């Protein structure tokens, strides 16, 4: 490559393969973060995961008369009519609920257990709103209205 200088024309020569290798190395390192491997994590008393608490006061509704262990918790801010309908529905379908793994034979307990691995120290993030084409937006609205009618 030739370029002007105050003393005349300067010339720089280089190795094209070496230049490509330098470029690849600089681009490859740019996106990598430095990560520290954690081998052992000790939970201390103040770092124990806490159980989530209800957002409102709840009313304890017994599933069976005389059995205080099996109860439903219904939000107290639910209207009287809605609460009555919900309690009636739960009572009529109480044979569907399982309170232990022994009550559901044939299903592996690992399939029944659900746990979210959420770090309580992190703040939740809201996903970016997605824009859909008008016909897809209409299909979504129709599906949501169908599901709302079923509920």
Rounded to whole angstroms, how far apart are CA atoms 21 and 72? Answer: 66
Please give the average per-residue pLDDT across 51-78, as a whole number: 82
Q: Is residue 145 one of the residues assigned to a domain?
A: no
pLDDT at 45: 61
Judging by DSSP bridges, how do beta strands 58-64 and 67-75 pair with one another?
A: antiparallel
3-state secondary structure of 94: helix
Quote the DSSP letter at residue 31. S
Q: Is residue 91 one of the residues assigned to a domain?
A: yes
Please give the average per-residue pLDDT across 70-74, as a whole number: 86
Closest listed residue to residue 62, CA positions, set 34, 97, 28, 32: 97
Token pair for residue 70?
Answer: 């099996």
pLDDT at 23: 82
Token pair for residue 26?
Answer: 């600089």
Q: Is residue 128 one of the residues assigned to a domain?
A: no
Strand partners, 67: 64
pTM (2 d.p.): 0.38
Q: Is residue 72 one of the residues assigned to a domain?
A: yes
Please give the average per-residue pLDDT across 101-112, as a whole number: 78
Q: Number of structural domains, the chain?
A: 1
pLDDT at 76: 85
Closest listed residue to residue 151, CA positions, set 92, 73, 85, 60: 85
Q: Is residue 73 one of the residues assigned to a domain?
A: yes
Where in the sequence is the domain holding 85, given as residue range(s)? Answer: 58-99
pLDDT at 138: 93
**CA 137, 131, 149: angle at the middle one, nearest 5?**
35
Q: Is residue 85 one of the residues assigned to a domain?
A: yes
pLDDT band of 96, cuts 50, 70, 90: confident
pLDDT at 29: 63
Q: Is residue 20 one of the residues assigned to a domain?
A: no
Taken as a whole, the chain contains a residue count of 151
pLDDT at residue 117 tops 90: no
For 16-55, how does the pLDDT look when each residue is reduced to its tens digit (9 = 90+)? 888 888 888 877 766 556 666 666 666 666 666 677 777 8
Using CA atoms, how far residue 12 sits from 9, 15, 20, 136, in Å, is 10, 10, 16, 58
């Amino acid at each position: 490559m030739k370029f002007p200088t105050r003393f005349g024309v300067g010339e720089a020569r280089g190795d094209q393969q070496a230049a490509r290798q330098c470029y690849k190395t600089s681009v490859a390192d740019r996106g990598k973060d430095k990560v520290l491997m954690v081998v052992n994590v000790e939970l201390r008393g103040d770092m124990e995961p806490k159980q989530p608490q209800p957002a409102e006061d709840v009313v304890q509704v017994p599933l069976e008369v005389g059995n205080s262990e099996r109860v439903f918790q219904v939000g107290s801010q639910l209207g009287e009519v809605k609460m009555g309908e919900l309690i009636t529905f739960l009572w009529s379908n109480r044979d569907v609920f399982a309170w232990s793994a022994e009550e559901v034979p044939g299903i592996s307990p690992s399939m029944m257990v659900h746990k979210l691995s959420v770090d309580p120290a992190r703040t939740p993030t809201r996903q970016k709103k997605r824009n859909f084409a008008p016909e897809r937006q209409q299909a979504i609205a129709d599906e949501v209205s169908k599901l709302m009618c079923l509920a």
